[in-house]
Structure 1
């Protein structure tokens, strides 16, 4: 049941960079650390060895996870989208009716979400609620603090 994972070009490149580093830098280093720790004698009381083995397990697991995500990646270039609706990759400016504030979000894949950079996941409550709406639509979103009403004031695909 491997479904594709939508992501931006930037997010895709970030995953590839991380994978390269894990394979070329982290994996050989942990193998070396294990060999070194082995040389320190008794493995049953060797904390360095245990830590290195744990790190190796984490690195191998992450390599597998990244390979899987990269294989299933569906890279979407927002600039090529021809739509007037909010879709994956869109940068949306919303007006919070209650607080009178505006906020701009780009809707991205789960791995790319970073609230500080204004990137929200397509699977987040706000991301999900905005998908499919058009300019000037009023969107009601249930958030932990209650019901928020937003008006979409701008949609960009860049």
Structure 2
């Protein structure tokens, strides 16, 4: 049979998801808040969203001709998306290593979970929080622990200067303040 007449599947692997892959040989560090958020999303998909889509698809399938039934076609597509996200979240939560940053409360050294105020060579101050790969949000100052800025700052202390290599050259960052959440 000619391949031109074979229907291609809409199923995709988990590699197309928005979150970055975990570098080989590293752990999936995550804050307790990030772990809770992922777990809540997983439970919402399993307990609420998926059963509702299954109900719609069942109703649409009972209406007869499925080839031109938009509710059925789009419902099945949404069901595949939900199942793919459930698989992804399950895998990420299985390998997650929850790290509570509050154990460093009072420390002036930068570790995972620290909120750091630093100044670059241009005199601009930036506040960032070092979080897990699954919880980064750069627009809100939450950067992944594997990012170049986080790697440059990690293990430095308040008052230290660190070197950050960027595509536009070398930048020097001065750590002004390090904070951790209270236990």
Please, what TM-score do these two structures have when normalized by structure 1? 0.88
CA contact (8 A) 1:142 1:148 kept: yes
Partner Cα separation in structure 2 for residue 101 and residue 37 of structure 1: 57
What is the deviation of 1:147?
Answer: 3.2
Aligned: 1:86 with 2:110:
yes
Match of 2:142 among 116, 119, 124: 119
Aligned: 1:96 with 2:120:
yes
Please, what TM-score do these two structures have when normalized by structure 2? 0.77
Query: For residues 77-131 of structure 1, what are the alpha-carbon distances to aligned partners after superposition, in whole Å with 9 as ceiling and x for unaligned?
Result: 1111386532111111111221x12111110001111123321111222122222
Q: Which runs of 5+ in 1 are unaligned?
A: none
Partner Cα separation in structure 2 for residue 130 and residue 53 of structure 1: 46
Partner Cα separation in structure 2 for residue 75 and residue 26 of structure 1: 26
Query: For residues 14-41 of structure 1, what are the alpha-carbon distances to aligned partners after superposition, in whole Å with 9 as ceiling and x for unaligned?
Result: 0111011101111101111111221232
Aligned: 1:65 with 2:94:
no
Alpha-carbon RMSD across the aligned residues, in angstroms, is 2.1
- From the two aligned structures, give the one with the greater strand fraction: 1
CA contact (8 A) 1:12 1:70 kept: yes
Match of 2:51 among 28, 42, 46: 28
CA contact (8 A) 2:161 2:175 kept: yes
Q: Which runs of 5+ in 2 are unaligned?
A: 1-23
Partner of 2:5: none
Partner of 1:131: 154
> More deviation in 79-88 or 27-36?
79-88
- Where 2:174 maps in the other structure, the secondary structure is strand
CA contact (8 A) 1:3 1:72 kept: no
What is the deviation of 1:157?
Answer: 2.0
